[in-house]
């Protein structure tokens, strides 16, 4: 565990660093060439708090991880991205992000939480499966192989 870590909601000031983290990491961008996440998309996600939830994990005021979820019209949640910098992994950062998210997104607010991951992302599968075992809120994980078309 990291003693000075805190979780907070994201804001526009985080956009530049989120842009860098989202586009510089193969784990998040996959095989995408160039810019996988645009600056405008990131600003929109951080700004529109009625349709998105952005959580930031930070230590000493530096971002060490984040979680992005979309709030669907019926108040269900779609977990879009969760990322922890490699040097902070296996230290409880991902779990803390997820637990904070779960507090904000769980019953009675939402009936369903959904996450989409690539089949090769075993670390994410392990994190979600370990957390979901202890949950009451229904949670669905949708997986897709890399290079598989969106249908």
The per-residue pLDDT for 27 is 57
- Which CA distances in Å does 75 have to 47, 53, 104, 105? 18, 12, 11, 8
Spatial separation of the C-alpha atoms in residues 18 and 56, rounded to whole Å = 10
Report the pLDDT value the prediction gives residue 8, as an integer from 0 to 100. Answer: 95
More confident residue, 136 or 68: 68
What pLDDT, on a 0 to 100 scale, did the predictor assign at position 64? 96
Q: Identify the pLDDT of residue 71.
A: 85
Phi-psi map region of 61: left, alpha, beta (phi>0 left; psi -120 to 50 alpha): left
Q: Which of 2, 114, 15, 110 is nearest to 57 (CA)?
A: 2
At residue 94, the pLDDT reads 87
Decide if pLDDT at 136 tops 50. no
Note the pLDDT of residue 141: 52
């Amino acid at each position: 565990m990291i003693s000075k870590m805190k979780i907070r909601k994201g804001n526009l000031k985080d956009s530049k660093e989120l842009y860098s983290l989202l586009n510089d990491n193969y784990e998040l961008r996959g095989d995408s060439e160039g810019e996988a996440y645009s600056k405008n998309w990131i600003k929109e996600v951080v700004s529109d708090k009625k349709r998105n939830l952005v959580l930031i994990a930070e230590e000493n005021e530096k971002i060490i991880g984040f979680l992005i979820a979309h709030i669907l019209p019926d108040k269900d949640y779609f977990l879009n991205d969760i990322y922890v910098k490699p040097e902070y992994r296996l230290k409880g950062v991902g779990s803390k992000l997820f637990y904070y998210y779960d507090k904000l997104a769980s019953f009675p607010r939402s009936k369903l939480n959904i996450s989409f991951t690539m089949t090769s992302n075993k670390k994410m599968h392990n994190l979600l499966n370990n957390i979901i075992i202890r949950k009451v809120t229904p949670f669905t994980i949708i997986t897709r192989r890399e290079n598989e078309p969106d249908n």
